[in-house]
Amino acid sequence: MYMEKKVRIITVSTLAALGIFCISSGIMYSSLLNNNTEETVLVVVQQRQISNDEPDIEPKNLEIEANTPLSIKIIDYLNVAVSDEVLANLTLDTSNVNVTVPGTYQYTITYNNKSYAGTIVVKEPTPTAITQTITLKSLNIKIGTTLSNDISAYVTESLTDDIKAQMRLDISKVNPLIAGNYQYTITYNNSIYTGTITVTEDQPTLDNNTNNSDNTTTDTTTTNQTDTTTGDNTQESVTTIE
């Protein structure tokens, strides 16, 4: 019996499962037997190149103002876009960044046990000096007290260093060696603010051995006096003789 010879070329990827190839080969061989056909099968193995290159992970160097919340999206920290598959396997660590304290901090992005470092600079908040107004304090000090040159001691509001640098304090008219009421000024944002400083003497102590006549009336009252050097309120008795 004459058997027709045929050549069939099959291309098989190296990534194909061997089991599937074996099953397919068995079916082909069985088919050839049924058709009484002699056929030569030439298998060509085609290799697929798999890239082993690491993805380009490039963290950003960021600047934020103090008290700004950090993003939890890793994509916000990347300079170069990556595939969704790579993005899903990235790990972000910003635990070393303190957003409440200005400074330079390092964070990391990890991929396949390899870490990539970036920096976050936390800056002082931008001052709103253009529209901000201030309120000056009315101070009471004891005679002989040294006047402070720190503007914060005279202003009710909390001030940043940038804002204080824009202010000019004038206490030249205050004489802390002589009791009295004085005015001081702070020039800021094209405005002059005026406050008062009261310099007081120590309360004199009366002689307890003073002889009082029978018709002398003693009236004792209690007043509160504030110690401006310590900020403590002290209660002291003052005796008035009529």
Q: At 164, list the tokens.
A: 């204080």
The CA-CA-CA angle for residues 126, 132, 136, to 5°, reads 120
Please check the confidence at residue 171 and state whether its pLDDT lies above 60.
yes
62 and 118 Cβ atoms separated by less than 8 Å: yes
What DSSP string describes the chain?
A: ----EEEEEEEEETTS-HHHHHHHHHHHHHHHHHTT-EEEEEEEEEPPP---PPP---B--EEEETTPPPP--GGGGBSS---HHHHTT-EEE-TT--TTS-EEEEEEEEETTEEEEEEEEEEPPPP-TTT----B--EEEETTPPPP--GGGTBSS---HHHHTT-EEE-TT--TTS-EEEEEEEEETTEEEEEEEEEEPPPPPPPTT----TT--EEEEEEEEEETTTTEEEEEEEEEE-
Torsion (CA) 31, 32, 36, 38 in degrees, nearest 10: 170
Helix (H/G/I), strand (E/B), else coil: 25: helix
Pairing between β-strand 62-65 and β-strand 91-93 as defined by DSSP bridges: unpaired
Q: How do residues 62-102 score in pLDDT, each as one tens digit?
A: 999 999 999 999 999 999 999 999 999 999 999 999 999 99
Shared fold status for 62-123 and 127-242: yes
The listed CATH number (1.10.3720.10, 3.40.50.720, 2.60.40.10, 3.40.50.1370) that belongs to domain 127-242: 2.60.40.10
For all residues of the chain together, what is the average pLDDT? Answer: 75
Distance CA 83, CA 69 (A): 26
pTM above 0.85, yes or no: no
- Residue 39 binned pLDDT confidence (cut-offs 50, 70, 90): low
Helices (H), 4-83: 18-34
Please check the confidence at residue 118 and state whether its pLDDT lies above 50.
yes
For the chain, domain boundaries: 5-46, 62-123, 127-242
Distance CA 79, CA 128 (A): 31
Q: How do residues 179-207 score in pLDDT, each as one tens digit?
A: 999 999 999 988 999 999 999 987 655 54
103 and 124 Cβ atoms separated by less than 8 Å: no
The listed CATH number (2.60.40.10, 2.40.30.10, 1.10.40.50, 3.20.20.80) that belongs to domain 62-123: 2.60.40.10
> Which among 110, 62, 56, 115 has a CA at the least distance from the CA of 81?
56
Task: Return the higher-pLDDT residue of 117 and 203.
Answer: 117
Task: Return the higher-pLDDT residue of 15 and 163.
Answer: 163
- Residue 50 binned pLDDT confidence (cut-offs 50, 70, 90): very low
The pLDDT score that the predictor gives to residue 121 is: 97
